[in-house]
Amino acid sequence: MQAGDPKYAHYTRLLKEELIPAAGCTEPAAIAYAAALARKELKSLPERVLVEVSANIVKNVKSVVVPNTGGLKGIKASVAAGVVAGCSDKKLDVISLVNEKQKEEIHLFLKNIPIEACHSNTDRVFEITVTLYSGNSSVKVRLVDSHTNIDLIEKDGQIIFSSAGKNGNNAPPITPDLDVESIIDFADTVSLPDVESVIERQIAYNTAISKEGLKGNYGAGIGKLLMTRYGNEIKTRAKAAAAAGSDARMSGCEMPVIIVSGSGNQGITASLPVVEYAAEWKKSNESLVRALVLSNLIAIHLKSGIGRLSAYCGAVSAGAAAGAGIAYLSGGRMEEISGTLVNALAIVSGIVCDGAKPSCAAKIAAAVDAGILGFEMHSSDRHFCPGDGIIADCLENTIRNIGRLGREGMKITDKEIIRIMLEQP
């Protein structure tokens, strides 16, 4: 693929827009981002706050620790952190610079300022609206469709910004304009200076939080458990590295991660197993960068038909993509990568997303295991065949089936999961 090819520019832009840092789970970060934007316009601390969110936001905020808050969870903690200490210029890294004094101020804000949190009256899967009130003044900020996509900023009833039916002025929704054959071509031919800084940052950030997860005492400690119980072979290290990163970020670790498809867990899952295999096989840095270009773009491609939030666990897409990245590292191209992806998707499609919380680390381990098994199956000339369940006659049609399953087939499942979660304390 030549640099002048429209797809070349498109894929390069996608990597730069998708692979961005985030502190903690991205849904609480998005709420904090909206709150920080509103506070910036209000220019003072509010006297009360209204937060309206779609049901899937509730699902992904309810059980996860908001970093830099002293262990707080939930929508109100996310808003308080954004209002008191958020830096909106940093987007999903909005609460990464909170100091100890500000942590105390966040707790005082929660204690003293009324915050009403409720479901928004919307058909959108992803919508966050934060309104701050002070005296006769108010500021409303609404995000839709993706974590930094500003749909509306309104002050005292006057519209400051409106997307007016466009994608807004930040990250657009995931584009479906991808295919695996072109992704492989791009990974093979992209000029390293066009992508190297983005990929190197992903390696550095995600490796760092993985090491912290293996060292510290986070969540259920899935990464540490895998290493303790199953030894030090490469398959175990690949699963443990990804799981440990999730262990840490789901349980309040303040270190940032580089996300993919709006998700830190997916960013960790798509990258760290490939990093581990590259080290095991003594691959060059160039080979690793190209394999991660491929893994990230395939993760985006697999998720694009499903949508940002769904009852379909995003780790499945990222784990399959990691398997494809491993196949690429081994010298595989279209045949090997296609076989790996089809096998992996046949194994674990159907894992449900019941929100962000410590058990995500175990789901990540299962998804990475499926990605590796998919690769090893193809290497041993073993395959699942067209007509086996959701497997279609070609890779791209199988990917379309996955999108249909996650986007349409699991809508009712998603609603039932949310009802069940809201019944829990």
Task: Please tell me what DSSP assigns to residue 171.
Answer: P
Same domain? 139 vs 209: no
Identify the CA nearest to 255 among candidates 265, 263, 245, 267. 245
Flag whether 398 is in a domain.
yes
Neighbours of 223 (CB within 10 A): 31
- Per-residue model confidence as pLDDT tens for the chain (425 residues): 888 888 999 999 999 999 999 988 899 999 999 999 999 999 999 999 999 999 899 988 988 899 999 989 999 999 999 999 999 999 999 999 999 999 999 999 999 999 999 988 888 999 999 999 999 999 999 999 989 999 999 999 999 999 874 443 344 444 548 999 999 999 999 999 999 999 999 999 999 999 999 999 999 999 999 999 999 999 999 999 999 999 999 998 889 999 999 999 999 999 999 999 999 999 999 999 999 999 999 999 999 989 888 999 999 999 999 999 999 999 999 999 999 999 999 999 989 999 889 999 999 999 999 999 999 999 999 999 999 999 999 999 999 999 999 999 999 999 899 889 888 76
Same domain? 42 vs 125: yes
Same domain? 194 vs 267: yes
Structural domain including 283 reads 180-423
Same domain? 370 vs 238: yes
Same domain? 189 vs 226: yes
**At 190, is the secondary structure helix, strand, or coil?**
coil
What CATH number does the domain containing 36 carry? 3.30.1330
In this prediction, residue 169 carries a pLDDT of: 39
Flag whether 167 is in a domain.
no
C-alpha dihedral, 45 to 48 to 53 to 59, nearest 10°: 90
Flag whether 11 is in a domain.
no
In this prediction, residue 174 carries a pLDDT of: 44
Same domain? 277 vs 251: yes
277: left (phi over 0), alpha (psi -120 to 50) or beta: alpha
Flag whether 173 is in a domain.
no
Angle at CA 293, nearest 5°, toward 290 and 296?
145
| Last residue within a domain, chosen from 129, 162, 195 | 162
Same domain? 292 vs 405: yes
Flag whether 2 is in a domain.
no
Q: Report pTM.
A: 0.91
Angle between helices 334-348 and 395-404 (to 10 degrees): 30
What CATH number does the domain containing 275 carry? 1.10.4100
Judge whether 60 and 27 are in contact, CB under 8 Å: yes
Same domain? 111 vs 208: no
Flag whether 253 is in a domain.
yes
Structurally, the chain folds into a number of domains equal to 2
Q: How far is CA 1 from CA 13, 191, 192, 315, 398, in A?
A: 15, 10, 13, 29, 25
Flag whether 271 is in a domain.
yes
Flag whether 14 is in a domain.
no
CA count, 13 A, side-chain hemisphere, 276 = 26
CA count, 13 A, side-chain hemisphere, 326 = 35
| Last residue within a domain, chosen from 105, 128, 162 | 162
Same domain? 272 vs 412: yes
